[in-house]
Structure 1
Amino acid sequence: MAGAYVHIPFCSHICYYCNFNKVFIEGQPVDDYVDMLIREMHLVMASHPDEKIETVYVGGGTPTTLTPVQLERLISGIRRELHFDHGEFTFEANPNDLLEKDKLRALHENGVNRLSIGVQSFNDAILKAIGRTHRVADVYQAIANARAVGFDNISIDLIFRLPKQTREDFLASLHKALALDLPHYSTYSLILEKKTIFYNLMRSGRLQLPNQDAEADMYQDAIDLMESTGRHQYEISNFAKPGYQCQHNLLYWRNEHYFGFGAGAFGYVGRDRYHNFGPIKQYLDPLHDHKVPVIEHHLVPLEEQIEEEMFLGLRTREGVSQKRFAKRYHMTINEVYGQLLKDLSDQQLLTVDGDAVRLTNQGQFLGNEVFQQFLLDDPLV
């Protein structure tokens, strides 16, 4: 079982907090990029003819900056080259790309069955302050259009700990988001990434953010409100009605295999973690010569595999399965981490419940500090 991530690096604007591989779409060779992306899929899958792709996630950048004709060509190429005829098929979208129904129809009529829409806030002043070009009214129109076309599996993203954001403001955004009665929501704390406008403002002392207490309150509000409306937390940042968990992201968190296609994409197949060229020209050039555009391969050692099994699995509410761990690594979690599990349990940061090793609620708030303790200092024999 494997998934496929497809990267579209084009944006009509650049948000102040985003460090993903992206470029302004104007003047870019978009048609050539779509053609070469499909060629990459053909070249890669020729080396993995028996691999079954079960989920596809098209992210960016902004995939919905493509025209309806480009979207149809991309989707038909994905289905053909990945032999992907059913399963969860997600496209990321911006609200202001969905104000007309033409792109939504191109997606839905070609088999895309899940949308992930970047909303971030229901406050127009905050949207402007973080560099978003859509406004709250666009969100309502986009979701109404998506439903009219036939989409029911819709997720939206919200960010907290934003400049000028108060706990009350984020709570208002949560209420407005939930009033839309969607099956899935993702909510993230703002991370200041290098090479972003916000990072540079922070370095110069010109970025005022909510403090840690306010951040923790916002996160707890999200957990409580989502649960009270039947959206159960299944991962640190993700909430869903039963049956609507994002299967593609669960594949990542379960440390399964995935292919990465597109400029700057990462893949992880077998023990091989590979990374494509990021700049558009460097990505396209080898493909014009019918060569894969990989800049780096990393053969993941056993210790790193095990560390990632714990980091990723502990992000989920289902936790790390002891049986799956033992089957994969031919040793038990206790043999590797026995004393650490006891210490974290004593600190009420982690619990061992039957087959599952999970973070406690308190552990979720200190997730990164807990994860660091699973780094292995010595090689495993």
Structure 2
Amino acid sequence: MKPKKKVGIYVHVPFCQAKCHYCDFVSYAGYSSEDKEAYLAALFREGELYRQRYRGTRASGKAVANADANANANAVANGGGIAAGNGGNNDGGHGAEQGLSGQTLYLGGGTPTSLTGKQLFLLISRLRELFQLPEDAEITVEANPGTIEREKLACLKEAGCSRLSLGVQSFSEQELRALGRIHTAQEVVESFTLARQMGIANISLDLMYGLPGQSLSSFRESLRQAVELHPEHLSVYQLKIEEGTPFASLVEKGLLREFDQDAAYVMYREAIEYLQAQGYRHYEISNFALPGKEAGHNQIYWRNEEYLGLGAGAAGFLEGVRYKNTSSVEDYIAQLVQGKLPLAEEENIDQALSMAETMFLGLRLRAGVNKEGFRRRYGMSIEEKYGPAIEKLLQQGLLEDKGTHLALSDKGLFVANLVMQEFL
């Protein structure tokens, strides 16, 4: 037997109370509790199919043909769950994988906390069992401050949730309304305080800059109020106007002007300087953490490691193949009722593309790309593969050679996309 394949596990919960004006994620409002129950049953089936697949079955993703596929599909069709203990006992011979083992679990969306407390408990508990997550695994749940309740937090805590990621975005009521958020600044404080009272010891806050009507002073105030809560982690993102969103429509009609990029750079620099002064380590382009509180799950992405994506619209990367599930909740459920993985896209990642992705994902980390790790993974050094590009960027002061790692310089941080294009 080969050892268990250790992966991060991402689960997409595509439900929300209302779609924000900037959101282009796979998320939908208006689904009933019964719809969500059917979705969870399908999600458990998808997890079971992957568990079976990596216990010896090597069928293609779109036609996983395990002996009990139809029986379990019927359970999904009838709204039932999938038994986590017994499915897929085919070991597939001496070369078979023992199975998938989860390193981390991340519930994103959408708004995972749009589910009931009982649904959240069942979701986390079932996946922990299916993929044998260790007791101390990092389990993160994204939450909208407007959907946090004591009962949900109690269920999350009991299920093993160790980290809460609150989508704050701003502490300005005017900016929150402009974004279409359903919560208030006061609800952020109340949700954070309640989470602490319920024993959630690791909390991350998301903030955004470059918002309609946002000033440098209002952004500074959001930073100040965020730090005043003493979160372990902060993510700070620039608003991007994405095609198909209400904001994009307003821009096209001339009713909304895109934020000045120079002003956005000033805000970004302000975030870096202020948060570092408050004891937060700037460990990734958009992320800051107290020492030892860096997001473990996201580092799997930035190190270009394997992860399993479950749910409508979820993406995954396994055995050199990147895949994306159908974004339609109805199609997602229907495919799994038939015992099929709900794949919409699959792409084989060859070594050249993998090396490029390892570079531009790894450069997001302030520590940079590990040179020895790159050599062991690909059989050649970074310099052998990208020598001219690296030399050019070093001379321009955009990269820094740290000996063991190659990283963005402070100057390169502000033109990161241009630097990363050199490796494509």
**TM-score, with structure 2 as normaliser:** 0.87
**Residue among 25, 29, 33 paired with 1:20:** 25
Residue 71 of structure 1: CA displacement? 1.1
Deviation of the 1:52 alpha carbon: 2.1
Give the distance between the partners of 1:209 and 1:290, measured in 2 at CA.
45
**Alpha-carbon distance in 2 for matches of 1:326, 1:362:** 27
2:167 aligned residue: 118
* Residue of structure 1 in register with 2:85 after alignment: none
Say if 2:303 and 2:358, in contact at 8 Å, map to a contact too: yes
In structure 1, the partner of 2:95 is none
Aligned match of 1:94: 144
Taking the aligned partners of 1:108 and 1:322, their CA distance within structure 2 comes to 39
Secondary structure of the equivalent of 2:100?
Answer: coil
% identical equivalent positions: 41
Correspondences of 1:85-164 after superposition (within 5 Å): 85-86=134-135, 87-98=137-148, 100-164=149-213
| Alpha carbons 1:18, 1:196 under 8 Å: kept | yes
Question: Which of 320, 333, 337 is 2:382 aligned to?
Answer: 333
Query: 1:34 pairs with 34, 37, 40, which one?
Result: 40
2:345 to 296, 320, 330: 296
Aligned mates of 2:185, 2:396 — CA distance in 1:
43
Matched, 1:360 2:366: no
Q: Could you state the TM-score of these two structures normalised by the residue count of structure 1?
A: 0.96
- What secondary structure, in the 3-state scheme, does the structure 2 residue paired with 1:358 have? strand
Residue in 1 that maps onto 2:83: none
- Contact 2:303–2:361 (8 Å) recurs in 1: yes
- Range with bigger deviation, 295-304 or 159-168: 295-304
Q: Distance in 1 between matches of 2:101 and 2:35?
A: 31
Helix, strand or coil at the partner of 1:19: coil
The amino acid that maps onto 2:139 is F
Q: Deviations over 1:286-325 (max 9, x none)?
A: 1112221112221111111011001100000110011011
Q: One-letter code of the match for 1:44?
A: Y
Q: 2:399 aligns with which of 350, 372, 377?
A: 350
- Give the equivalent residue in structure 2 for 1:44: 50
1:183 maps to amino acid:
E
Whole-Å Cα distance in 2 between the matches of residues 170 and 47 of structure 1?
Answer: 48
* Partner residue in 1 for 2:322: 273
**Separation in 2, partners of 1:218, 1:113:** 31
Give the counterpart letter for 1:31 in structure 2. E
For structure 1, which segment, 251-260 or 199-208, has the greater mean C-alpha deviation from structure 2 after superposition?
A: 199-208
**What root-mean-square deviation, in Å, do the aligned CA atoms of Structure 1 and Structure 2 show?**
1.0
Q: Once the 2 structures are TM-superposed, how far is the Cα of residue 48 of structure 1 from its aligned partner?
A: 1.8
What is the SS of the residue equivalent to 2:235?
strand
1:85 Cα deviation from its structure 2 partner: 3.3
Give the match's secondary structure for 1:357: strand
Tell me the amino acid that sits aligned with residue 41 of structure 1: G
Q: Which residue of structure 1 lines up, in the alignment, with residue 94 of structure 2?
A: none
Q: Which runs of 5+ in 2 are unaligned?
A: 1-5, 56-98
Residue deviations 1:272-292 (CA, integer Å, cap 9, x gap): 111111101111111112221
Q: Distance in 1 between matches of 2:410 and 2:400?
A: 10
For 2:411 and 2:237, locate their aligned partners in 1 and report how far apart those are by CA, in whole Å.
17
The AA in structure 1 aligned to 2:123 is: L
> Once the 2 structures are TM-superposed, how far is the Cα of residue 208 of structure 1 from its aligned partner?
2.7
* Matched residue type, 2:41: D
CA distance in 2, matches of 1:204, 1:249: 36
Match of 2:62 in 1: none
- Residue identity opposite 1:208 in structure 2: R
Q: For 2:380, what is the secondary structure of its paired residue? A: coil
Check whether the contact 2:121–2:158 (CA below 8 A) recurs between aligned residues. Answer: no
Could you say which residue in structure 2 is the equivalent of 1:378?
Answer: none
Letter in 1 for 2:14: P
**Using the alignment, how far apart are the partners of 2:327 and 2:156 within structure 1?**
26
- Aligned residue for 1:2? 7
Q: Distance in 1 between matches of 2:242 and 2:121?
A: 33
* CA deviation after TM superposition for structure 1 residue 132, in Å: 0.5
Bigger Rg, structure 1 or 2: 2
Q: Which runs of 5+ in 1 are unaligned?
A: 376-381
Counterpart in the other structure of 2:311: 262
